[in-house]
Structure 1
Amino acid sequence: MALREVCLIGEPVLRAVAAPVAQFDEDLATLIADMFETMYAAPGRGLAAPQVGVSSRVFVTDVTWKDGPHTPIAFVNPEVVAQAEDVVTGPEACLSIPERAFDVKRPSWVEARWQDADGAVRQARFEGPQAICFCHELDHLNGVLITDHGVER
């Protein structure tokens, strides 16, 4: 595992639509391990591959580790299959946009489908902080930042 440098706002990789992952191999496993290490060191609750300069549809989250036990999840080729019509607005920060926070509207829950590091398909419903984090990181894979639809605090 290795720490990777976090790309900052203005770097083109953050605005590109990331490519789907086709190879579930050692390189992907290394990327995921490095992303977890980088996220925890930052310290963050989520990190997308474009944030470490890799234009691939991968992100990692662990929304509970700062307050309790670790709940790490690696998402490969993630997608939203359903979401709440009702939205919640709350503060979000981003490792690629240091020292700034934005109020962002997100669905109160999302039903997500993704592949794990081995390529197995997973599906789950996320609510609260995990839903917010999932949507935030998915935005990164589509070249969208919180500056695009949030209001700076």
Structure 2
Amino acid sequence: MPSSVLVEKKKLENPPLQMHHMGDRVLRQPAKRVAKVDDEIRTIVRQMLQTMYSEDGIGLAAPQVGIHKQIVVIDIDPDKPEAVPLVLINPVIKKFGKETCSGQEGCLSIPGVYLDVERSEMIEVSFKDETGRMRTLQADGLLSRAIQHEIDHLNGVLFVDRVENQIALNQELKKRGFSASDVRHIG
């Protein structure tokens, strides 16, 4: 990974990008494919990483910070300085494993809300990295869940759209000041 996108894993008082929250239309618009991975894209990636670390996240999709590009950053080990974050540009899930599992998810765009979501345990994803090279990755566990969650953002889908327990969903959203009418259930 080139040093041009590595950032220090620390909280910034004023992160470079502003987080958008559920109810904001920007989160529901599908992101556009990145035509060329260049210095402008690497700057966005760096700013997204700085914003993600500042917000105590493990994943961030560009639409969450108002950028309509298919860019995702993930770091499931934010407390380990040596763990290299994952940068996925134009990611596409090529295969979903047969096994699914339920796990708790949260989202920087819906702060304070944590609910169970059923997802594939294993996936295979293809993407461009921050240098523009095509890559394929098999992921399972938390990394698989994080990738699926962030790719949903690129399609205008929020994790709450996939929550099956409607009672818990409505209670959590109300408790945190979000409207259940902003949920778009996925059948």
Partner Cα separation in structure 2 for residue 25 and residue 68 of structure 1: 25
Is 2:27 aligned against 1:21? no
The alignment partner of 2:111 has SS state of strand
The alignment partner of 2:87 has SS state of strand
Is 2:61 aligned against 1:61? no
Q: Choose which of 84, 106, 112 in structure 1 pairs with 2:119.
A: 106
Per the TM alignment, residue 83 of structure 1 is displaced from its structure 2 partner at its CA by: 1.2
Partner Cα separation in structure 1 for residue 53 and residue 80 of structure 2: 13
Amino acid at match of 1:91: Q
Q: Point out where structure 2 has 5 or more consecutive residues left out of the alignment.
A: 1-6, 8-14, 173-187
1:70 counterpart residue number: 83
Q: Choose which of 122, 129, 143 in structure 1 pairs with 2:135.
A: 122
1:34 counterpart residue number: 47
Give TM-score scaled by structure 1 length.
0.94
2:148 counterpart residue number: 135
Is 2:159 aligned against 1:146? yes
Contact 1:65–1:71 (8 Å) recurs in 2: no
Partner Cα separation in structure 2 for residue 135 and residue 67 of structure 1: 23
Per the TM alignment, residue 12 of structure 1 is displaced from its structure 2 partner at its CA by: 1.1
Partner Cα separation in structure 2 for residue 142 and residue 95 of structure 1: 17
Higher strand proportion: 1
Count of residues paired in the alignment: 153
Larger Rg: 2
Q: Point out where structure 1 has 5 or more consecutive residues left out of the alignment.
A: none
